[in-house]
Amino acid sequence: MTSVVLVTGAATGIGNLTARALAAAGHTVYASMRDIHGRNSGRAEELLELGRSQGQDIRVVELDVQSDASADAAVATVLDEAGRLDTVVHNAGHLYVGYVEAFTPEDIHRLLDINAVGIQRVNRAALPHMRSRRSGTLVYVGSTTSVVVPPFLGPYVASKFAADALAQVTAYEVGQFGIETTIVMPGPFTQGTEHFPNAGRAGDGERTRAYAELDPMVARNEQATEGLFPPGADAHPRAVAEEITRVLALPHGTRPFRTVVDFSQAGVEEVNEVLRRAQEDFVTRLGFGELLRIKETGPEPGPAAPASRPADARTG
């Protein structure tokens, strides 16, 4: 079934790969990024040329998740051009690497603004339309770090915890308007993204130097991560794009609430299952068990306008 999909953070990495995969599957894809006429103009044109050469409906839209006005304008563009918005893939994010004490409050505020509050901005722009149609899907690119909590990524892990919590509680509420949620949890990747090369560092150099005896651990972090992958594993983020494409191909009402794409064998699926049971039991005992089910009130997405082509039960 084809959808009109908005992908945030589509300039590079998982977002870019997801935009490409969804367009190849026949969806109408709005690949969003910042500064499409400036520093990302080449990346934007590459996606547009891909669409032209492959006969795919892939478009580019300006979206800075740190701006309410930008989020509103991006969603308005999608609605003006395509007539509807079926799916938002929340992918935009940034990474910080360093010692927690060395990150200033301003550093952490900025990362939370990008990785968590940015999701809220885009949801507030998109959800009025989805609620009015009583149909839609929110896909969040989360992280296994919110389960395994690796060292030297403190502000990033905190921001992914916050984003995951927002996604979960939002899901209870929007599900009553026929809107599905899937949280995709990628494990670590050491290739195929600019996540680590472009990672931010702590703003307080003096506090960073105070932890110098731990620097060798930080230096070998990437090598240590690669050591977690089984021999011969192709630990590439294209697997996340493929999983998002698979999930969106499932019939409405049957998409998983969580799915894990992890080559590090961290056991996140087992933790998720324990968490699911505890949450469902708690919410049911509160008397709000209906919030655990998607209310089937809206229509299945129809053809997009113009020129669109084709793109497990909820488990906790």
Catalytic residues: 156
For residue 221, the one-letter residue type is N
For residue 104, the one-letter residue type is T
Give the tokens for residue 82: 């395509």
Angle formed at CA 38 by CA 104 and CA 190, multiple of 5 degrees: 55
